[in-house]
């Protein structure tokens, strides 16, 4: 959470910072600010509540020239959304921006006698004052002394008043990537801000300090000795992080799913079988485990639930799915024989990362399914399977979900094969059916007008219900999450059989019920549940396979997906659920890509 950018170089720093903040805005958008050395080498600080556009407009009055500065877009944790609480924060000679949480800020406030000095309610300002009090003219030394004082997670970019042109950065847990480019030295919380300038970058190692000047970027290890950064190459370009003619990132990302699936599946096919040789995941990982534990948050966790419904009956071993923020405070029943699969688009979600570390401490092997190359989860897991979806910018996750599913299905298939549950022919058949979901998704994208039409009813209501059984219930959870996060309609998903145990009391005349009935063995049961809500006046939006036979009068709105096998219906259904949420948000004239209170990457607990 929170977007961070820093620059030192020959170009117009203000422009670079403001443009970078626009690229990073999806990380947080309560307020934004920049600080830079002006022509007289004084630090100018400008910060404003609201979106980056607000800040840009406000900054246009300052005609000064700058070549070194820092910028921040905030997702509030400590303190309200006010100009004062916006970053950067200034304390004596120090000006800094922060992403993360300083958990011991109260203790630091007391021990450094900061009560009465602080101008904001933020933990970040406390860190700035502590750093200032440790500063005796040597930035590296002061930062080195600051780190042991801090508990929590942080990435900082720091200017020191008496060191114009220089910018210092350090991190623990919260991400930072940096690069020296032809345009100068750049550092940011996220690659999207660097990509207009370079494809080569490095991830700042935790606890190491980076110094940026117009001429170079230097990484110092924990002993303050210059260290060689480990450079990585981005495999997508700036176009992937632009809307490219689409009105919203979310719609663009929905459209990108077929391509993303191809990119994730095809390089991992060898002689018709899933193959992870290039990912350096040996079969022994799949052969030896006696249980699978999937850990993730939000949409990624929902992908895990769908995978469980595939893997457990197929592999005949226990497959458990946990919410990362719960798992990390439990005493999980895992050991060296468990395979722990963690799923994260960003690879930075703090709870998922902490849960993975816990799993490792129990001796389990960890396999991470991650979209962002070089992210912390990817680097710390024993094995990594990258999904190749390209950058996902909209806060509501769409293409990341379908590629996570594809990766999980590849794993399930490989596991079944190496454990003797699938013959090679069965594994090849499974994979070829997985590829068939791509045209099915394309079909549903092409029929987006259906969802556009049905939301007219939906957006007149403040509540909606998603029902389904088995896999359809797992899809419902994702449908409800998508709808509530961007349309603010209160949406709940229920296992259809549970309705009569309480929830059905909420169904009144015209209540929208989105019923998913794509699983053959429970189809008639779900249809019975649809009858029950219909009898109580519900407005039923029914999602079934093309060939489903039923009484048409049951549904007020009926969307049919191409006839794929039951295990694969999630892919076309996901498109429908995403488009329902998208058009509902649009119909209510809301901010589709940046819904209130949310941010793309959840790097605080």
166 vs 485, beta carbon nearer ligand M6R: 485
Interaction of residue 395 with ligand M6R, rule CB under 6 A: yes
Residue 298 binding ligand M6R, by CB under 6 A: yes
Q: Is 18 in the site for ligand M6R (CB under 6 A)?
A: no
Residue 501, number of CB atoms within 10 A of its CB = 9
Nearer to ligand M6R, 77 or 352 (CB): 352
- Closer to ligand M6R by Cβ: residue 368 or 564: 368
Q: What does the alpha-carbon distance between residue 145 and residue 210 come to, in Å, rounded to a whole number?
A: 15
Q: Which residue of 300, 491, 513, 580 would you call a contact of ligand M6R, by CB under 6 A?
A: 300
393 binds ligand M6R (CB under 6 A): no
Place of tokens 């709808």: 483
Does the footprint of ligand M6R cover residue 364 (CB under 6 A)? no
| Catalytic site includes residue 600 | yes
Of all residues in this chain, which one has the CB nearest to ligand M6R in the complex?
A: 298
Q: CA nearest 368: which of 378, 353, 354, 360?
A: 378
Q: Which residues contact 328 (CB under 8 A, 6 or more apart)?
A: 351, 354, 355, 358
State the nearest-atom distance from the C-beta of 349 to ligand M6R, in Å. 3
Peptide bond into 276 cis (omega under 30): no
Taking the CA of residue 599 as centre, how many other CA atoms within 13 Å lie in the half-sphere pointing to its CB?
24
The H or E element containing residue 270 is strand 269-270
* Segment holding 112, helix H or strand E: none
**Could you give the CA distance from residue 372 to residue 269 in angstroms, rounded to a whole number?**
22
276 contact partners, CB below 8 Å, separation of at least 6:
268, 385, 410, 414
Write down the least CB distance from residue 86 to ligand M6R, Å.
Answer: 23
Given the complex with ligand M6R, which of 192 and 346 has the nearer CB atom? Answer: 346
Side by side, which strands form the sheet with 200-203?
Answer: 43-49, 31-37, 68-74, 3-8, 184-188, 177-181, 200-203, 231-233
Tell whether residue 487 is a contact of ligand M6R (CB under 6 A): no
Of 127 and 604, nearer to ligand M6R (C-beta) is: 604
* 339 is a site residue for ligand M6R (CB under 6 A): no
- Is 489 one of the binding residues for ligand M6R (CB under 6 A)? no
Q: Which is nearer to ligand M6R, 120 or 240 (CB)?
A: 240
- One of 155, 257, 397, 569 touching ligand M6R (CB under 6 A): 397
Residue 109 touching ligand M6R (CB under 6 A): no
**Residue 90 main-chain phi, psi, to 5 deg:** -115, 140
Stretch that binds ligand M6R, among 183-191, 225-233, 295-303, 556-564 (CB under 6 A): 295-303
Residue that has been written with the tokens 């429908």 in this structure? 576
The reply on whether position 593 binds ligand M6R by CB under 6 A is no
According to the binding rule CB under 6 A, does residue 8 interact with ligand M6R? no
Q: Which two tokens stand for residue 387?
A: 């999904």
**Is position 602 an interface residue for ligand M6R (rule: CB under 6 A)?**
yes
Q: CB of 354: closest distance to ligand M6R in angstroms?
A: 12
Write down the least CB distance from residue 501 to ligand M6R, Å: 27
Nearest approach, Cβ of residue 312 and ligand M6R (Å): 22
* Closer of 217 and 369 to ligand M6R (Cβ): 369
Give, in degrees to the nearest 5, the angle at Cα 169 between 17 and 201.
70
Residue 277 burial (10 A CB sphere; 0-12, 13-18, 19+): exposed
407 is a site residue for ligand M6R (CB under 6 A): no
Residue 376 near ligand M6R by CB under 6 A: no
Report yes or no: 373 and 389 within 8 Å, Cβ to Cβ: no
**124/375 with CB nearer ligand M6R:** 375
Task: For ligand M6R, give the closer residue by CB, 306 or 428.
Answer: 306
Using rule CB under 6 A, residue 102 touches ligand M6R = no
Minimum distance from CB of 389 to ligand M6R (Å)? 11
Instruction: Indicate the SS3 state at residue 171.
Output: strand
With residue 158 as reference, give the H or E element that holds it.
strand 152-160
The number of beta carbons lying within 10 Å of the beta carbon of residue 275 is 16
Q: What is d(CA 455, CA 478) in angstroms, rounded to the nearest whole number?
A: 17
297 is catalytic: no
**Binding residue (CB under 6 A) for ligand M6R from 23, 124, 263, 299:** 299
Q: Does 354 bind ligand M6R (CB under 6 A)?
A: no
Task: Rule CB under 6 A: say whether 189 interacts with ligand M6R.
Answer: no
Query: Which one, of 68, 90, 85, 75, lies nearest residue 5 by Cα?
Result: 68
| Residue that the structure tokens 């690659």 belong to | 191
Site residue total, ligand M6R (CB under 6 A): 16
Among 77, 346, 384, 603, interactor with ligand M6R by CB under 6 A? 346
Catalytic residue among 2, 68, 157, 413: 2
In this structure, the number of other CB atoms found within 10 A of the CB of residue 270 comes to: 11
Which of 49, 85, 322, 345: binder of ligand M6R (CB under 6 A)? 345
| Sheet with 383-386: strands ordered across | 319-323, 291-296, 338-344, 365-370, 383-386
Burial-class residue 130 by CB neighbours within 10 Å (0-12, 13-18, 19+).
Answer: buried
The closest of 402, 400, 440 to 559, measured between CA atoms, is: 440
Stretch that binds ligand M6R, among 395-403, 441-449, 490-498, 586-594 (CB under 6 A): 395-403
Taking the complex as a whole, the smallest distance from the CB of residue 395 to ligand M6R amounts, in Å, to 5
Q: Which is nearer to ligand M6R, 185 or 297 (CB)?
A: 297
Residue 585 found at the interface with ligand M6R (CB under 6 A)? no
Residue from 274, 485, 494, 533 in contact with ligand M6R (CB under 6 A): 485
Q: How far is the CB of 26 from ligand M6R (least distance, A)?
A: 10
Q: Both tokens of residue 137? A: 């003219």
Task: Please identify every residue annotated as catalytic.
Answer: 2, 600
Residue ranges that bind ligand M6R, judged by CB under 6 A: 297-300, 344-346, 349, 352, 395-397, 481, 485, 601-602
């Amino acid at each position: 959470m929170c977007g961070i950018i820093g620059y030192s170089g020959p170009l117009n720093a203000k422009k670079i910072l403001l443009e970078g903040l626009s690229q990073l805005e999806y990380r947080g958008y309560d307020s934004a600010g920049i600080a830079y050395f002006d022509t007289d080498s004084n630090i100018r600080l400008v910060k404003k509540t609201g979106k980056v556009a607000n800040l840009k407009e406000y900054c246009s009055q300052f005609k000064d020239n700058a070549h070194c500065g820092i910028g921040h877009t905030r997702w509030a944790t400590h303190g309200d959304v006010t100009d004062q609480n916006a970053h950067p924060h200034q304390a004596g000679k120090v000006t800094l921006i922060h992403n993360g949480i300083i958990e011991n800020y109260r203790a630091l406030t007391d021990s450094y006698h900061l009560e009465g000095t602080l101008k904001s309610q933020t933990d970040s300002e406390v860190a700035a004052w502590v750093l200032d009090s440790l500063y005796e003219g040597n930035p590296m030394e002061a930062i080195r002394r600051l780190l042991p004082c801090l508990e929590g997670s942080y990435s900082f970019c720091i200017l020191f008043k008496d060191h114009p042109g220089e910018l210092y950065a350090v991190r623990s847990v919260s991400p930072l990537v940096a690069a020296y480019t032809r345009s100068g030295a750049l550092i940011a919380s996220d690659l999207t801000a660097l990509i207009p300038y370079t494809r080569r970058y490095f991830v700042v190692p935790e606890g190491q300090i980076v110094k940026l000047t117009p001429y170079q970027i230097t990484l110092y290890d924990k002993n303050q000795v210059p260290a060689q950064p480990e450079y990585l190459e981005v495999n997508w370009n700036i176009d992937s992080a632009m809307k490219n003619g689409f009105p919203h990132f979310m719609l663009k990302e929905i459209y990108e799913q077929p391509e993303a699936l191809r990119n994730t599946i095809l390089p991992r096919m060898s002689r018709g079988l899933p193959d992870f040789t290039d990912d350096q995941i040996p079969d022994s990982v799949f052969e030896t485990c006696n249980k699978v534990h999937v850990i993730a948050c939000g949409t990624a966790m929902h992908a895990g639930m769908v995978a469980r419904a595939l893997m457990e009956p197929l592999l005949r071993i226990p497959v458990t799915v946990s919410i990362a923020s719960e798992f990390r405070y439990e005493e999980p029943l895992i050991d060296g024989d468990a395979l722990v699969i963690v799923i994260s688009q960003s690879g930075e979600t703090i709870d998922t990362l902490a849960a993975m570390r816990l799993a490792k401490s129990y001796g389990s092997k960890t396999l991470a399914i991650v979209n962002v190359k070089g992210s912390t989860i990817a680097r710390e897991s024993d094995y990594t399977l990258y999904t190749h979806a390209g950058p996902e910018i909209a806060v509501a996750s769409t293409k990341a979900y379908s590629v996570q599913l594809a990766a999980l299905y590849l794993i399930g298939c490989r596991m079944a094969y190496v454990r003797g549950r699938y013959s090679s022919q069965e594994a090849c058949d499974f994979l070829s059916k997985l590829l068939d979901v791509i045209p099915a998704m394309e079909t549903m994208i092409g029929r987006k007008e259906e969802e556009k039409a049905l939301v007219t009813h939906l957006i007149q209501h403040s509540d909606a219900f998603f029902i389904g059984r088995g896999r359809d219930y797992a899809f419902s959870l994702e449908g409800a999450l998508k709808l509530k996060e961007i349309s603010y309609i209160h949406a709940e998903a229920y296992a259809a059989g549970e309705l009569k145990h309480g929830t059905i009391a909420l169904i009144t005349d015209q209540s929208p019920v989105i019923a998913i009935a794509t699983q053959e063995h429970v189809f008639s049961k779900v249809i019975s549940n649809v009858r029950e809500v219909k009898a109580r006046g519900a407005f039923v939006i029914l999602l079934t396979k093309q060939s489903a036979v039923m009484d048409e009068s049951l549904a007020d709105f009926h969307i049919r997906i191409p006839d794929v096998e039951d295990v694969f219906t999630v892919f076309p259904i996901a498109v429908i659920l995403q488009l329902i949420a998208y058009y509902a948000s649009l119909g209510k004239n809301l901010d589709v890509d940046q819904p209130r209170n949310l941010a793309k990457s959840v790097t605080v607990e």
